[in-house]
Structure 1
């Protein structure tokens, strides 16, 4: 493809919107003391090779390292949420984010319809693995030179399982040389972090980059212990050849972060929410230094001791390489390979409502539990009175009459989410302007996980180290024994493997001087094997859970739950063998994309694209009733894939001081899902129409305004299990989301604000309870004390807005307490950086 604009003024102007700067450069001054380098950037993510951002017939955006700083991110998801069209809910803390795009639904969690990549390959093949969200296993740090996103379009055919789009974190490679070291710490929260980066040449043809971070502390909310602890190191080495380059990658991530699950939140009105007495879910958690160790069982009855402070534990060791070579005249080979060992765990308190036992006063909780409880012989308890005392911590044994909750302890061990991925393609460029690309993609993704026997506790609603509660009936019989209401809720064991193969082809050609057209197709096939065991604790042997030498009441554990249910404080099980579901099926999907750009002038490009793509349903398919036959094959109710269709048309305009991209899109999405927290399953179709705007205006004298806005009109167009929802707006889907970043930069100072907001949205598909419109004000400022040393301050959510991203309840009255996940309240951070 001819690079028409590579030396024209428009190329320099466009780069103001998509600026890429090296993190550090030994020979250069600080960003405040040098002019911005502007150039036209080649799109490298999920799109035909060789096209610039101005030429490409896809919607693409990027953030450099300097631009990411202005967002005041506290997690990787908070970097993504400023990209146009991306809805990234970062209320889970340092991981467990829900991410979607262009009105495509968030029926459950993760990032089902879009993939998160590092250097052009997915971190996980499936973005919504149960308790294995992709963002759990990636961190944004100084190793990343550019965050690039492609929305819709060619993502359907240039990547598997990502019909909605791809976000790609692209590594610094060290060409410019130099390094940096920096520290940061929370002013109003407990965390200390060290970052470093260094790159340069071994010799003229061999260069490297190494970067990483280490941190320790409670994190952005009070937990009572240091739950954010660990770090990452990433290294790449590049060998230049006469006909291209070879690049080798290494990554080691060993990190723990506390994750925040739905917790008690007060309803002020329909749309406005806040803290409950003694607990603010936006700055506190229901974790506790008094309740950090859990004794439980795996799915086979083996005892397990678990540490609640592990939170989301992420361990990744990966090695990969990239070969980009001209193997013959005008024939280019590109091969990307990575193998990764990935494991970890997920443990955190979840506020549940078994039998209507939602957050309420301790006395009413005790009466509700007593009224529905049966002892081991099936007899009722004496509920003429009940007593509630603190079971541990300060004042243990004292009466308690405050708020209480039922804590279902989510407890999952991710034994193996490792994968092996290779993407190979050959691109031939012809003299007549035609380009032909053929490729073959191979991926093997393991999903081996144990859902330990989840236990349920009754404890205080308290943001300062929640305490367990002991509850007795009028005769002194224990209904809740030292906090433990039921020792086993469920236990699953997942042992699955998914092998994906995908040949693909792209044909691009030029028509005259102004038209660029490409058409591409991809055929994905997935082979799924393994089994899932639905059990609890194994065998038919009662176990002394509390170790007092007596098997009684709810201190006993029992056999496999096969349709069993809790009856008050004593577990009442339908004892029997574990249910085993074999998984052994093949599924396939063919994707298609047709796009074109019209280069009207050096300042103006018009483009359009139609795409059809697919997403293998993966592990959640096992949870859909009737989806699999007894032998593991697919039933007639599913093809094993969900599909997305997208039509988009857009315009890209740029002058020396003004850039604007606008894209109109229409999307139809099928979604097959299972939701752990509610037990519901979904087989639906969604439709969405919308408009993305992204732009930059330089006022001069150091003043700049950059931002984006997305309008979306979405609805549920089909629902197999609940047709009454047809026509409703999908949960958590706002009409408008936006990010605006005004800033001022001088020789010694940079300061500004990142304004991120949303119009109102419904928190459930019933369209009753909503979150009002909001705007988060994130402030940033940097003082360049010298060419090499800078001090920065950023404040996230400066006005301390209380905003929920999701709620387990779809209806509530003012004064009610619901279970919801809010965004972080105000957090302030100071950082220092020295470049060398």
Structure 2
């Protein structure tokens, strides 16, 4: 017989993915059972651990909920041998997490919903039930840049589809929630880890427990330093995080306060030269392996440029993705009257830093090629200050810096368009207030109000362009001269100002919501919910690109000379090396001033066939507000900042799903059949593409775990997806094509064997082939990435672990700037990292 909805000890509302409410439930359970025996406490704890705390109706266990939900803890994360937070996420069913960017800048999506550009547009990433950023696909500000997985996290939970449409804003595809430990169970651990075949050292720590009978705490975090999993020539991964929370138990609930400070720098890997071995097969080019090396260099770490206001600045490429976050929050979870519960969660975050990394560009004729052909192409298109051609009878190429500066060079060269942005303010303030009333007849009514203020203030500095060697061990600048000795590329600098944009935007989201849950008989559970999101967008985008007429002495020799310092010179693309805007007098501006609204709803139900079998179904419609990328799409905004008829300001997702859940002590099996229709209004920075599309996907999610006994277990998941572009406003020829980077089948299989004091196993993560662009020409073949893990429990408290990521050193690309290529061609792509191994020493105390 079903009893979950009416258990007063577990009756605190769990709304909008607010795990704190569920943790409050745990606190109340612990308090209510404090005088009972230990076996009852253990049973209550086990019951709590099954409660869904992410983007779901309140108080329902994972077995009973009419949503697809999965979770795993620190022990299960270790089996994945993750090198980034995104690699933690990629083991969740239905989640496609492309972690080829390194410690941040990952692309994440769910259930065939398009991954047309970067970030996580239709799926939010939460920390303790509130979004890290309101929008997960901000240009250069992906949500995963600003959170880290460490031992402060108790578990990771995901809800795919379903109630995420109405239990959180801007997340119609689903929610991934990083849930912090709170210290109810005392103890902790300290550990160190280091790379065996790469340079990185890391310290992790966590500790929690009671201050007194009614007050407990938890603190955790990490510190690290090193080069990272690819050769950069300097310490590109350096920083750390600390998180702490205190929970005060009250007679009618609890109060919790929490604090987080993240100050971390990670190297991010952008598309780089990759050799096409055949359609679907890729590898390293001469002198450079993009899966284990980067085009970063100790010789090119400091760059002089201009900010978007024309002020000279120096930029340090070792900063990579610089993530600085300071957050403070609290939650109040109280029974304010009989069977009436108030839950309020609040967090304010100061978010800053920046993003700087080399991108391999082409500008038409300047793709990766031999240095001599690059020099010939540059000379042929360049004009001097009087508009005359240079003497291109011959050209010379020499190394501009490094130990061999001045020597001739004719290896591979590339055009480095330096992506360079500063996060002036990506901070937010978020509050979620709800009241939940439980009735004796099994009806539960919840009403709430959500408020979010998200700033997007980012400076795109004057993006420099350099000509450099393709070299995995410290790329060097190239100096190019024509037959008369005139510098075409002066000491590596081709053009000091490609563009400069200043984004200063604010998005305020308000959302009243309501949910009604009820029981029919002993076996049927239903809920219906609705949410009304309203977004007020204000601000301005100032485009300082490519204008101005002021000559600048870039190299500081007191003389204005050469293509790189003469503002009247042209490189054939309408901008000369000296095109530096020193004021905003002629800059164009786009005002943003509009309001947009969207109504989401969700209807779901479960049939509890038995204690171990549940059938469920759900239909949902949800919206995703368009943020900064809307400003890059022509025709969407009027001059006064209002919306045109081209867009409503929201993209919508519809999802229909049916599933079955089977769970016993030894065997777990979940299956969900889904159909998803998604609208997508999008802009891509690297290609300049903009599009307004509709996608449709049908698929099946499978998740299972079986304990064979004798220490052997097998777990895993698989997702089959049949997806297509169903509409395209700008390019109808793409209708019927498979969306880029969408495989028919992705899976994770984890066999594990425990014996005596050892545990060994593997995480096998695979995919069938997929196209890297929407034209469906160039593809990536099917692959399997094998991650290995082993732990030796030296004692009850001390352990030594070894893990190997990508043990077979597979060369797999997740994306490509080119849509077609032939064997022998060089394309610009992002591969996953090659084989890396690390060892960890851990001491736990209780």
TM-score between the two structures when normalised by the length of structure 1: 0.95
Q: Deviations over 1:323-355 (max 9, x none)?
A: 111111111111110000000100000000013
Deviation at 1:369, TM superposition (A): 0.8
Change (3 A) 1:183 1:59: same
* Aligned residue number for residue 115 of structure 1: 124
Residue correspondence of structure 1 range 453-472 to structure 2 within 5 A: 453-472=462-481
Does 2:634 match 1:625? yes
Matches within 5 A, 1:165-204: 165-204=174-213
CA distance in 1, matches of 2:514, 2:575: 60
Query: Residue 589 of structure 1 corresponds to which residue in structure 2?
Result: 598
- Which whole-Å deviations, capped at 9, do the CAs of 1:599-658 have from their partners, x for residues lacking one? 011121000000000001101011110111001111111111000000000000123311
| Cα separation, 1, equivalents of 2:46 and 2:371 | 63
Are 1:706 and 2:687 matched, yes or no?
Answer: no
SS state at 1:157 partner: helix
| CA distance, structure 2, for counterparts of residue 418 and residue 537 of structure 1 | 30
Task: Tell me what 1:385 maps to.
Answer: 394
Alignment match, 1:3: 4
SS in 1 for 2:497: coil
Question: How is 1:401-800 mapped onto 2 (pairs within 5 angstroms)?
Answer: 401-536=410-545, 540-556=549-565, 558=567, 566=573, 570=577, 577-800=586-809
In the TM superposition, residue 577 of structure 1 has moved relative to its aligned partner by 1.1
Conservation of the 8 A alpha-carbon contact between 1:299 and 1:537: no
Q: State how 1:290-369 maps to structure 2 within 5 Å.
A: 290-369=299-378
8 A Cα contact 1:93 1:257, kept in partner? yes
Using the alignment, how far apart are the partners of 1:678 and 1:439 within structure 2?
Answer: 42
Distance 1:768 1:725 in 2: 12
Whether the aligned pair in 2 keeps the contact of 1:807 and 1:821 (CA below 8 Å) is: yes
- Displacement, 1:518? 0.3
Q: Deviations over 1:82-122 (max 9, x none)?
A: 00000000000000000000000011000000100000000
Residue 548 (structure 1) shift: 1.6
- CA deviations on 1:744-771 (whole Å, 9 max, x unpaired) are 1123111100000100000000000000
2:105 maps to 1:96: yes
Cα drift, residue 725 of structure 1: 0.4
Distance 1:587 1:524 in 2: 8
Q: Deviations over 1:564-621 (max 9, x none)?
A: 9736975679998111000000001000100000001112100000000000110101
On the 8 A contact 1:560/1:578 being kept in 2, the answer is: no
- SS of the residue corresponding to residue 137 of structure 2 reads coil
Give the whole-Å Cα distance in 2 for the aligned partners of 1:481 and 1:496: 37
Aligned counterparts of 2:135 and 2:61: Cα–Cα separation in 1: 29
1:69-90 deviation line (CA, Å, top 9, x unaligned):
1110000000000000000000
Distance 1:816 1:517 in 2: 56
Alpha-carbon distance in 1 for matches of 2:101, 2:428: 25
3-state SS of 1:356 partner: coil
Q: CA deviation at 1:558?
A: 4.8
| Residue 400 of structure 1, CA deviation | 0.2
CA distance in 2: counterparts of 1:4 and 1:54, whole angstroms? 13
Note the C-alpha offset of 1:224.
0.3
CA contact (8 A) 2:5 2:442 kept: no
Distance 1:255 1:73 in 2: 17
Worse overlay, 493-502 or 542-551: 542-551
| Paired residues of 1:487 and 1:554 also in contact (CA < 8 A) | no
Q: How far, CA to CA, are the matches of 2:481 and 2:567 in structure 1? A: 22
Is the 8 Å Cα contact of residues 551 and 578 (structure 2) preserved in structure 1? no
Structure 2 contact 566–577 (Cα < 8 Å) conserved: no
Instruction: Check the 8 A contact 1:538/1:560 in 2, yes or no.
Output: no
Task: Find the residue that maps to 1:61 and give its secondary structure.
Answer: strand
Q: 1:457 to 1:566 in 2, by over 3 A?
A: same
SS of the residue 1:459 aligns to: strand
C-alpha displacement of 1:372 = 1.0
SS of 1:68's equivalent in the other structure is helix
Q: CA deviation at 1:473?
A: 0.7
Q: Which has the higher mean CA deviation after the structures are superposed, 551-560 or 749-758?
A: 551-560
Structure 1: distance between partners of 2:63 and 2:252: 27
Corresponding residue of 1:17: none
d(CA) in 1 for partners of 2:614, 2:568: 66
Q: Once the 2 structures are TM-superposed, how far is the Cα of residue 550 of structure 1 from its aligned partner?
A: 1.5
Q: 2:161 aligns with which of 131, 152, 157?
A: 152
Paired residue for 1:135?
144
Note closer, same or farther for the CA distance 1:649–1:565 as it changes in structure 2 (3 Å cut): farther
Question: What's the CA shift for 1:225?
Answer: 0.3
Name the SS for the 2:87 alignment partner: helix
Tell me, what secondary structure is at the counterpart of 1:636? Answer: coil
Once the two structures are superposed, residues 402-461 of structure 1 have per-residue CA deviations (whole angstroms, 9 ceiling, x without a partner) of 000000000000110000000111110001100000000000000001000001000000
- Alignment partners' CA distance in 2, 1:832 and 1:559: 61
CA distance in 1 between counterparts of 2:426 and 2:828 reads: 30
Q: Return 5+ residue gaps in structure 2 as ranges.
A: 8-22, 27-41
Contact 1:584–1:633 (8 Å) recurs in 2: yes
Q: Secondary structure at the match of 2:563?
A: helix
Quote how far apart the aligned CAs of 1:720 are: 0.8
**Counterpart contact for 2:160–2:174, Cα < 8 Å:** yes
- In structure 2, distance between residues paired with 1:580 and 1:567: 20
* Distance (Å, rounded) in 1 between the aligned partners of 2:687 and 2:121: 18
1:301, 1:536 within 8 Å by CA — same for their partners in 2?
no
What's the CA shift string for 1:213-236, capped at 9, x where partnerless?
Answer: 000000000000001000000000
Report if the CA contact (8 A) 2:74-2:153 is conserved: yes
- The two structures, once aligned, show a CA RMSD in angstroms of 2.0
Partners of 1:610 and 1:262 lie apart in 2 by: 38
For 2:601 and 2:738, how far apart are their aligned partners in 1?
A: 28
Out of 56, 69, 78, the residue aligned to residue 47 of structure 1 is 56
Q: Is the 8 A contact 1:544 1:555 kept in 2?
A: no
Number of equivalent positions:
809
Of 64, 67, 71, the residue aligned with 1:62 is 71
Determine the C-alpha separation between the residues in 1 that align with 2:746 and 2:225: 33
Give the secondary structure class of the aligned counterpart of 1:715.
Answer: strand
In structure 2, relative to structure 1, the CA distance for the partners of 1:786 and 1:517 (3 Å cut) is same
Contact 2:550–2:580 (Cα < 8 Å) also in 1: no
Contact 1:295–1:306 at 8 Å: present in 2 too?
A: yes
- Cα distance, 1:243 vs structure 2: 1.1
Compute the displacement of 1:554 (Å). Answer: 2.5
Q: Separation in 1 of the partners of 2:536 and 2:574?
A: 41
Instruction: Provide, for residues 342-384 of structure 1, a one-character-per-residue CA deviation record: whole Å limited to 9, x for no partner.
Output: 0010000000001321000001111111111111211111111
Asked whether the equivalents of residues 757 and 793 of structure 2 are also in contact (C-alpha less than 8 Å), the reply is: yes
For residues 715 and 110 of structure 1, what CA distance do their matches in structure 2 show?
20
Deviation sequence 1:138-197 (CA, Å, 0-9, x none): 000000001000000000000000000000000001111112110000000000000001
Distance 2:673 2:545 in 1: 50
Corresponding residue for 2:37? none
